[in-house]
């Protein structure tokens, strides 16, 4: 089985080397870049399974870099590793579509735990079947079952729930959900998303493996029990 390949984007050359070495010792392939422009060039040359990026970098900062990545790839996990510990930075990052946020200095073992969790979520999302407690979802058949009985979900409800459960603990903003599951010319609003989430909570009440949680000021996430 091929080792996961991780792109490390960090302008501090010494820290970049330390992070890459820790990842290599943890059983991953690691390639370091000192700026976002170099990282984007590397991404054109080869496929990566996960990105670790600083925010404050010369030229293109981490926010702009993450936006550029998300414009071309909505699935690759992105982990911000930064000295910025303020809520506005975290909110902006999650709105762009990053998957995790860790504040420097970070313990090497914690970083490996976060990387492993993100890669597991990504692998689940790439699969066709998903299980959470007594709920089983089959993306190929577009069916969901609770304790063996079919759960009556609309196509959109199924897609939203599958997305949330594919990335447990990841917060999806209302705007991200609208862009993913409603047409751009749709009359849907953030209130429409709230209504769908209320319906999903009602329909999935018999499910014992997760909760759909409101993240105030951002959106929604699924939390496994």
Q: Is the dihedral of CA 65, 66, 70, 75 positive or negative?
A: positive
What span, in angstroms and rounded, lies between the C-alpha atoms of 223 and 210? 5
What span, in angstroms and rounded, lies between the C-alpha atoms of 6 and 77? 10
Beta-sheet pairing, 50-53 with 5-9: parallel
Of the candidates 26, 12, 23, 27, the residue with the CA atom closest to the CA atom of residue 51:
23
CB–CB of 79/114 below 8 Å?
yes
pLDDT in tens, the chain (225 residues): 467 899 999 999 999 999 999 999 999 999 999 999 999 999 999 989 999 999 999 999 999 999 999 888 777 899 999 999 999 999 999 998 899 999 999 999 999 999 988 887 776 555 577 889 999 998 878 899 999 899 999 989 998 999 899 888 889 999 888 888 876 556 778 889 999 999 999 999 999 999 999 999 889 999 998
């Amino acid at each position: 089985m091929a080792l996961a390949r991780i792109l490390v984007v960090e302008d501090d050359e010494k820290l970049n080397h330390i992070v890459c070495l820790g990842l290599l010792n943890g059983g991953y392939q690691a390639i370091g870049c000192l700026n976002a422009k170099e990282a984007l060039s590397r991404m054109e040359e080869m496929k990566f399974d996960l990105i670790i990026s600083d925010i404050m970098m010369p030229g293109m900062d981490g926010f702009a870099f993450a936006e550029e990545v998300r414009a071309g790839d909505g699935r690759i996990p992105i982990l911000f590793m930064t000295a910025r510990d303020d809520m506005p930075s975290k909110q902006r990052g999650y709105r762009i579509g990053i998957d995790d946020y860790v504040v420097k200095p970070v313990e090497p073992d914690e970083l490996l735990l976060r990387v492993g969790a993100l890669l597991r979520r990504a692998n689940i999302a790439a699969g066709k079947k998903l299980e959470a407690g007594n709920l089983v979802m089959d993306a190929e058949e577009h069916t969901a079952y609770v304790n063996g009985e079919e759960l009556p979900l609309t196509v959109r409800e199924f897609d939203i729930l599958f997305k949330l459960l594919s990335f447990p603990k990841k917060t999806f903003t209302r705007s991200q959900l609208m862009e993913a599951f409603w047409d751009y010319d749709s009359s849907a609003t953030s209130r429409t998303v709230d209504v769908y989430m209320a319906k999903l909570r009602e329909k999935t009440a018999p499910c014992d493996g997760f909760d759909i949680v409101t993240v105030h000021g951002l959106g929604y996430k699924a939390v496994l029990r």
